Amino acid sequence: MPVPYDEEPVMTTTAPESCLQANVFHARSPESVDAGAINARVDRDAFAAVRGIFSPDEMAEALRSVRAGFRPELDQPAIGEAPAAVMRNFQKLAIGGAGNHWDYRPRFMRTIYNPLWEPDIYGMHAVFRRLAQVRNVLQQKPLNHAIDTIEDGLWTAARLQHYPAGGGNISRHRDAVISTVTGDAGVARFHQLLLLITSKGSDFTEGGAFCEAGGQTYDLESEFRAGDIVIYDGTTMHGCWDVDPHVTPRLDTLDGRLVALVSLYKDMSADARAYEGYEDCDVDAGAPVDEV
C-alpha cells in the first residue's frame, strides 16, 4: 500500500551536517570517479555526492540556457502520452497523484525530456553526456554506453525535473521500477544521479531534496549545491520537500528548483504501455515506486 500523504517526513535536518560533508567525493572528470568508494558509501548510507565535475558557474550558465529554450506552451498533462513520447523532446506538467505508475503519489513538478539523439534545444547535451559518463563509470560500463544509442534494450533518458517555486515537490518513494529494469538488462548496480542545477539559498530558500537512511532524514540541499551530483540506489527512500511554498506559483517560468537526470530507461519505442510487466516489482510494502 502507498504511504499516506500525511506520513511524509517533517522537514528537519536530523542528520548532522558533518555526515553530509563526509559523503561528498571529489573528482575532476568522469574517469577519475572512485566507483568502489562511492558504491560502498551508497551501500552504507543510501546516498553519496560527487563534487568537481561540474562547477557552480557552469550550472549558472546551464540554467540561463535552459530558460532561454523553455516554452511553457509545450506542457502536456501528467498522463495520456504514448510510451515512446519520452524518447523525443517532450515535456509534461504533473500536479496531483495521477501518473504512469501504480500508486497514488502526490507531486507538483515538470519533466522536460531531451534525449541525446534529439535537437539540443536547451544547450544541455554536453552536460547530459558527461553526467551519463559518471553513471557508466559507477556501473562499470564502457564510458559512452547507451548515451547516444539504444544498447542492451536501454537508453539514456536525459531530462530535467523542475520543481516550481510555490510548492513544487514529489512525495517519498524508491526508484524500484527502473532499478529492476536495468538489472534485468544486465546492469549489476543501479544508480540514480541527480545533477543540481540550482542551489538552495540562492535559487530557492525552502524545501529541496531529502532522503531517509538509518532512521535519519537528511536535508541534502542544506549542504549540496549547484554542480554537485547526488547519487541514490534503488533502495533509497527519497523525495523533494515543498519548494518555496510561500511564493505564488508561476508556471510560465522555471523559478524554483531544477535538476538534471540521465537514468537508463527501457526502450519503449514499440510498447503500448509504459513498463508493462513491471507493475509489481516494488514488493516491499509501503514504498511508492518511481516516476515515469
Distances (CA, A) of 66 to 62, 160, 251: 6, 9, 15
Residue 65 CB coordination number (10 Å): 16
Assigned domain for 196 exists = yes
Confidence of residue 281 (pLDDT cuts 50, 70, 90): low
Residue 184 CB coordination number (10 Å): 15
User: What's the domain count of the chain?
Assistant: 1
Is 50 exceeded by the pLDDT of residue 244?
yes
Assigned domain for 96 exists = yes
Q: Which residues sit opposite 68 in a β-bridge?
A: none
Assigned domain for 289 exists = no
Q: What is the pLDDT of residue 214?
A: 86
Assigned domain for 181 exists = yes
Assigned domain for 97 exists = yes
Assigned domain for 165 exists = yes
Assigned domain for 4 exists = no
Assigned domain for 11 exists = no
Residue 206 structural domain: 22-266
pLDDT (tens digit, 9 = 90+) per residue, 39-87?
999 999 999 999 999 999 999 999 999 999 999 999 999 988 999 999 9
Kindly tell me the burial class for residue 259, based on how many C-beta atoms sit within 10 Å of its own C-beta (0-12, 13-18, 19 or more).
Answer: buried
Q: What is the pLDDT of residue 179?
A: 66
Average pLDDT over residues 243-255: 98
236 residue type, one letter: T
**Which residues, 6+ apart, have CB-to-CB distance to 22 below 8 Å?**
none
The answer to whether 116 and 158 have CB atoms below 8 angstroms apart is yes
CATH of the domain at 256: 2.60.120.620
Which grid coordinates belong to 237? 527512500
The answer to whether 113 and 119 have CB atoms below 8 angstroms apart is no
Is 90 exceeded by the pLDDT of residue 273?
no
Q: How far apart are CA 27 and CA 30, in angstroms?
A: 7
Phi and psi torsions of 280, nearest 5°: -110, 20
Q: How far apart are CA 263 and CA 265, in angstroms?
A: 6
